[in-house]
Amino acid sequence: MNYNRIYTGDSNKLLRDVSIFRSASVDLIVTSPPYGKKRKHAYGGVKPDRYVEWFLPISKELFRILKPKGSFILNIKEGATDCERETYVLELVLALKEQGWLWIEEFCWYKKNSFPGKWRHRFRDSWERCYHFARQSEFKMYQDAVKVPIGDWSTDRFRSMSHKDYIRNVSGTNSKMGRNVANWLNRRRVYPHNVLVFEQEHYERIPNIVRFPTACRNHNHSAVFPLELPTWFIKLFTKPSGIVLDPFVGVGTTAIAAALLNRRYLGIEIVSEYAQAARRRVREARALKDCHGV
């Protein structure tokens, strides 16, 4: 079985190939499928009212391919039409549960640099959903791998709070916690929470060529989450040499994150231009990693 490959093709067909995508073979699936758009675009125009029925055959295969203790991270956000939010994402979550997935969590990805604009009835949309699904409740989760320095997350209040105030507040909720307050305060790194804010200064700086390859710009491919997003989930749900699948890999961000973290990757992309770009970006990322030890 081959890993570290980007396949060109339609996930809805390719994922059914059991010789390529064996059952229970993948540790983590991270993907950001094309969102539902009322109007068709060059890339991935799935109509909102058909979204769930379009996605379910794919997620059925993903369930098969994922290891029993693996995780599935789905980055998605509904849009607005005629002043109302679309409902297909809510319906998708319910449908995925019907299909057997456990809905473990919904992370909020807070995008500070959201698209500008002003409308009469709405402000700018600055967050997206990152759903965490699993096959069973005993999934693997390496929480220590994503600890953050205290102060990075908005511990402002704790910093300004006196020690006494802090103890009092904590002990008001749970006495066991109260006892451990000193530990928390003295610890250099703490566990994060379920609101994700990716600020470059807080993470390893990745060379520009990998982040925004010139050849991939100005293509109509809109969907790039920052490298930090898959990086975070890969650290949290896999160990080195683990296998990460992205069935809508686009220009390869998930694969790059996996490669840089010494994990193995599998990607599928329907637009051959993007698939090629993804392969080249991964190659460049690996080269940079080997050279400079990124």
Partner DNA sequence: CTGCACTATGAATCGCTAA
Partner DNA sequence: GTTAGCGATTCATAGTGCA
- Count CB neighbours of 1 within 10 A: 10
Chosen from its own copies, DNA, none, partner binding at 75 (C-beta under 5 to 8 Å by type): DNA
Q: Under the criterion CB under 8 A, does residue 203 sit at the interface with its own copies?
A: no
Q: How far is the CB of 89 from its own copies (least distance, A)?
A: 9
Residues touching its own copies, count (CB under 8 A): 59
Q: Is 237 in the site for DNA (CB under 7 A)?
A: no
Which of 228, 232, 243 lies closest to 69, judged by CA? 243
Q: Which residue number, 27 or 78, has a Cβ lying nearer to DNA?
A: 78
- The answer to the question of residue 9 lying near DNA (CB under 7 A) is no
Work out whether 186 is an interface residue with DNA (CB under 7 A): no
225 scored as a contact of DNA (CB under 7 A): yes
- If binding is defined by CB under 7 A, does position 208 make contact with DNA? yes
For residue 26, what are the CA distances in angstroms to 86, 208, 279?
Answer: 32, 29, 20
Nearer to DNA, 39 or 176 (CB): 39
N- to C-terminal Cα separation, the chain: 28
Taking the CA atoms of 59, 64, 65 and 71 in sequence, report the sign of the dihedral they define: positive
Cβ(99)–Cβ(134) below 8 Å? no
**218 burial level (CB within 10 Å; 0-12, 13-18, 19+):** exposed
106: part of which helix (H) or strand (E)? Answer: strand 102-110
- Among 126, 220, 241, 272, contact with its own copies (rule: CB under 8 A): 126
Member of 3, 54, 127, 153 binding DNA (CB under 7 A) = 153
Instruction: For 140-183, give the DSSP string.
Output: ---GGGG-EETTTSS-HHHHHS-HHHHHHHHHHH-HHHHHTHHH
Is 273 among the residues that bind DNA (CB under 7 A)?
no
Give CA–CA dist 106/196, Å, rounded.
Answer: 11
222 binds, among DNA, its own copies, none (CB under 5 to 8 A by kind): DNA
The span from the CA of 171 to the CA of 35, in Å, is 44
Name which position in 224, 273, 284, 288 contacts DNA (CB under 7 A): 224
Residue 195, binding choice from DNA, its own copies, none, Cβ under 5 to 8 Å by partner class: its own copies
Non-local CB neighbours of 83 within 8 Å, separated by 6+ positions: 121, 122
Positions touching DNA (CB under 7 A) are 32-35, 38-40, 44, 75-76, 79-83, 112-122, 125, 150-151, 153-154, 156-157, 159-160, 162-164, 190-191, 200, 208, 211-212, 214, 217-218, 222-225, 248
Positions touching its own copies (CB under 8 A) are 80, 82-85, 87, 90-91, 93-94, 97, 102-106, 108, 110, 112-118, 120-127, 137, 139, 141, 143, 153-158, 169-170, 172-173, 177, 184, 190-195, 197, 199, 217-218
